[in-house]
Amino acid sequence: MIAEMQNTLQYLKQSNAVAIFTHMKPDGDCLGSALALKLILEKYGKKVDVYGDATISDNYCFLPQIETLNHPTMQQYDLCVALDCSDRNRLGNWWSIFEKGEKTLKIDHHETNDQFAQVNFVERKGSTAEILYSLIQALSWDIDSQIATCLYAGIASDTGCFMYSSTTKQTHEIACHLMSYPIDFMKIHYYLFQRRTKEQIMLTGMALKNIEFLLDEKVAFCGIKLKEFEKLGADTHDTLGIVSMMANIDGCKIAILMSEEKQNTFLISFRTDGSVDVSKVAEKFGGGGHKMASGCKIYGTYDTVKEKLMTVCKDFVC
């Protein structure tokens, strides 16, 4: 681990033209970390581009420089950095650019990991933003309010507003330091955890109404079909918070949200009460994540995908 950290610090210090990559459907930790890294590298004289999904939820519109995503200023990079990305497949179409970097680096905190970069710095922390904060401190680089906003958002997002078991004393100490800068933490909390569009509220209502309790009611399952998204004028980005609400149901060991992204392609989100390691469930389908929250993508019809999920979940809850 010491060698990986030293190599990571050297890569960041010596780079001049950097490309930063988010994973597909980036969350607050991924985007917050990417933009924080962009801002700090630019502060120290480096040129930086950020690549990621073209469609970003409006809930992340408060992040500084979010509008610079996918507006590259360079064609070649001496360093390509993947953030919060457990495996190469999660880079999607951006993999072809990432792999051409003169040097490649991954900074991540997931338990399930594909060591796809030249240097892979992976620590079991509550968020990638927490790791990035430690790297910035090790470099003795100065944080400002914009960087602090991005880092705080990343940490708050992936720790469930400091409620998940991954939250530690150090997590709170870092958040406390970031709050010493003039950041609007109430605005951050509003956009990350409270704000909902009309489409999101309507989708949440429909989803909660259609929950099924399976495998002796140990699994709460909800599937949303493409036609249901279309009827409400919503898409898979609007499922924010639904599966977490399902996981709060008393007696539920695994909560599953199955969202049809396109015909015969389903995005699966897993949550748990802590009694099951859902990253192990997601791994069965080529996905991954954390013990408490994981995901994957499965191809097939609605019924066949649901049946596959229940077959695997049976081994974990029965």
Residue partners of 100: CB distance under 8 A and separation at least 6: 76, 77, 80
E-only strand ranges, the chain: 17-21, 47-51, 79-83, 104-108, 119-122, 212-214, 219-224, 254-262, 265-272, 288-289, 293-299
- Give the pLDDT of residue 1: 64
* Boundary residue ending a domain (194, 218, 234): 194
**Do residue 311 and residue 228 come from a single domain?**
yes
- Give the pLDDT of residue 154: 98
Tokens of 123: 């620590």
**Do residue 211 and residue 309 come from a single domain?**
yes
pTM for the structure as a whole: 0.90
Q: Which domain holds residue 241?
A: 198-317
Other Cβ atoms closer than 10 A to 195: 16
* Boundary residue ending a domain (194, 226, 250): 194
- pLDDT digit string (tens) for the chain, length 318 residues: 678 999 999 999 999 999 999 998 899 999 999 999 999 999 999 999 999 987 788 889 999 999 999 999 999 999 999 999 988 888 988 999 999 999 999 999 987 778 899 999 999 899 999 999 999 999 999 999 999 999 999 999 999 899 888 899 999 999 999 999 999 999 999 999 999 999 999 999 999 999 999 999 999 999 999 999 999 999 998 998 999 999 999 999 999 999 999 999 999 999 999 899 999 999 999 888 888 889 999 999 999 999 999 999 999 997
* Widest distance between CA atoms in the chain: 58
Other Cβ atoms closer than 10 A to 227: 8
**Do residue 106 and residue 241 come from a single domain?**
no
**Do residue 13 and residue 151 come from a single domain?**
yes
**Do residue 220 and residue 301 come from a single domain?**
yes
Output the CA–CA distances (angstroms, integers) from residue 203 to 48, 148, 194, in the order listed: 37, 33, 15
* Boundary residue ending a domain (129, 159, 194): 194
**Do residue 207 and residue 90 come from a single domain?**
no
**Do residue 127 and residue 178 come from a single domain?**
yes
**Do residue 181 and residue 311 come from a single domain?**
no
- Give the pLDDT of residue 163: 87
**Do residue 165 and residue 27 come from a single domain?**
yes
Tokens of 87: 């495996």
Tokens of 94: 């951006």
- Give the pLDDT of residue 20: 98
**Do residue 234 and residue 95 come from a single domain?**
no
- Give the pLDDT of residue 24: 86
- Residue 172, domain CATH: 3.90.1640.10
Give per-residue pLDDT as tens, 266-278.
Answer: 999 999 998 999 9
d(CA 108, CA 209): 36
**Do residue 141 and residue 216 come from a single domain?**
no
